[in-house]
Amino acid sequence: MLEIRNVSKRYSGIPAVESVSFCARAGEVTGYLGPNGSGKSTTMKMIIGLIATNSGSILFDGKPIHSDLMAYKQRLGYVPEEPYLYTHLGGAEYLVMVAQLRNLATKLATERIDGLLRSFALYDDRHVPISAYSKGMRQKILLAAALLHNPDLILLDEPFSGLDVGSSLVLRSLIVELAARGKVVLFSSHELETVERISSHIVILHRGKIVADDSIERLRTLMSLRTLEGIFSQLAVEQDTAAISKQIADLIHA
């Protein structure tokens, strides 16, 4: 189980997240939602140990992640929001590098890399430099790199970004399948429909604070709203979307 306890982070005194607490349990998919700038990616970066918290603690299986960060990272798979990769390497070469850095046995790594590249339809382009890959292909490489070592904790920050319809459907099923196999899955996305379909637990962040932390069913019942979109709009969207869209249309029409 992943536990976030009263975590706060400030940048130059400005709070990015404030007293955030929630749990992501093994066997369930936790959807982490929030508008742009609400602190989702900051939380993700704190969970992977990239940035330090100002206060609070992050625990995985009851242990603070910083007590043995290297052992924790051995069990972590992370797909970042932006596809940062070594673009001078080929797709397969990049995955080999990741496997070596994760100390995977060569034979096992080769089998898994071949299998993942075939499953993600990248096998024919495995020796092409990543610099020539499309955004979707880069996203697939990130997904393959995150899953290569069979992690116990999977963090996905906008994992559907750039993927085509077919690949998105595969990923959607894959997330559910991984959770069913006992993994802790935490993912953030702006695609509310997808989040609603695959998440059993929802955490909504707004202006750096948690405004909802429950199962979708309970949120629907509590708020008397039928869809996640309705729940999200009520909790985290401050703008009058209809008025803004009319304003933009009027502006370009004038």
Partner 1 sequence: MHKTLSMERRQFRVLYRAFLMRVIDLESLSADADTSRLLAQFAALFAGISYLFTFWVIFAGARFSPDFLWVMEHFLIATTMLVVGLFSVLCWDSIFPDRRDVLVLAPLPVRASTLFRAKIAALVAALSISVLSLDIISGLVWPRFFSVTNGGGYLGFFHSLVAYWITMSLAAAFMFGCVLGVQGVAAQLLPRQQFLRLSAARRPF
Q: Which residues bind partner 1 (CB under 8 A)?
A: 45, 48-50, 69-71, 73-74, 76-78, 80, 82, 84-86, 88-89, 97-98, 100-103, 129, 131-132, 146
Question: Minimum Å distance from CB 12 to partner 1?
Answer: 13
Which amino acid does the sequence have at 87?
Answer: T
Q: Within 13 Å, how many C-alpha atoms sit on residue 171's CB side? A: 30
Sign of CA dihedral 86, 69, 35, 10: negative
Assess contact for 139 and 83: CB atoms under 8 A.
yes
Q: Which is nearer to partner 1, 183 or 206 (CB)?
A: 183
Rounded Cα gap, residues 175 and 167, in angstroms: 12
Question: Minimum Å distance from CB 74 to partner 1?
Answer: 5
Question: Minimum Å distance from CB 48 to partner 1?
Answer: 5
Q: Which is nearer to partner 1, 98 or 192 (CB)?
A: 98
Q: Which is nearer to partner 1, 76 or 216 (CB)?
A: 76
Q: Which residue matches tokens 């959770």?
A: 179
Q: Which two tokens stand for residue 39?
A: 């602190």
Sign of CA dihedral 113, 119, 123, 128: negative
Q: Which two tokens stand for residue 87?
A: 């673009």
Q: Which is nearer to partner 1, 132 or 237 (CB)?
A: 132
Question: Minimum Å distance from CB 151 to partner 1?
Answer: 9
Question: Minimum Å distance from CB 183 to partner 1?
Answer: 15
Q: Which is nearer to partner 1, 146 or 178 (CB)?
A: 146
The CA–CA distances, whole Å, from 5 to 44, 53, 70, 104 equal: 14, 11, 21, 32
Question: Minimum Å distance from CB 103 to partner 1?
Answer: 5
Across the chain, how many H-helices and E-strands are there?
A: 10, 10
Q: Which is nearer to partner 1, 69 or 237 (CB)?
A: 69
